[in-house]
Amino acid sequence: MQKLKHLFSNHCETHERHPDEQLKSRYYKTTHATAVKTIKELIEKLPGFQLLSVSEERGEISFSVHRGKKAFVVVTVISVRPFETAIDFSVTTETKWLPIDFGFSRNLVIELYQKLDERLPYIGSGMYSGT
C-alpha cells in the first residue's frame, strides 16, 4: 500500500524516518553556507524553476516549478555538525480538481536529490533514524 500512496497525493515530504528509502533526509559533506549556495545556483539554472526566497540564517529556500505541472517547493538545510549538512524537501503540486499528482511531487524530490548528489559529496540517508 505504501508503494502506491505517493500516486494518490499532491504532496511529498522527506524526513529522517521516511518508510521510502528514496525520501529519507540526505546528508552531505559540506557546510551550511555551501549547501544553500549550491541549491540556489541549481534552482536558478533549471528551466521552469523560479527562486522565490532564500533565508540562509533559517536554512530555508523556496521556489516554484512551472514544468509540466505547477508545484511549490521548500528546501530545508540543517547543519548537523561541521561539514555534515542535512537537506530535506517539501513539495506540494497544484492540482485542479483532485489532490492527486500521480507521483509528480515524489519524482521531483528524487530528481532534485540526484542533481544535488552530482554537486555535493553525498554521505548517506536517514543516518539518525535509529534504525
Alpha-carbon distance values, 19 to 66, 69, 80, 127 (Å): 28, 26, 22, 13
Q: In 1-131, at which residue ranges do the beta strands (DSSP E only) sit?
A: 11-13, 26-28, 49-55, 60-67, 69-81, 84-94, 122-125
| pTM of the complete model | 0.92
Q: In terms of Cα–Cα distance, which of 41, 54, 56, 91 is closest to 71?
A: 91
Fold of 9-123: Alpha-D-Glucose-1,6-Bisphosphate; Chain A, domain 4 (3.30.530)
Domain ranges in the chain are 9-123
Q: How far is CA 42 from the centre of its chain?
A: 12
Read off the pLDDT of each residue in 7-33 and give the average, rounded to a whole number: 92
User: What pLDDT is attached to residue 3?
Assistant: 56
- pLDDT over 80 at 130, yes or no: no
pLDDT digits (tens, 9 = 90+) for 52-109: 999 999 999 999 999 889 999 999 999 999 999 999 999 999 987 778 888 999 999 9
Question: How many angstroms separate the CA atoms of 110 and 124, rounded?
Answer: 14
CB 87 within 8 A of CB 25: yes
Confidence band for 1, pLDDT divided at 50, 70 and 90: very low
pLDDT digits (tens, 9 = 90+) for 25-41: 999 999 999 999 999 99
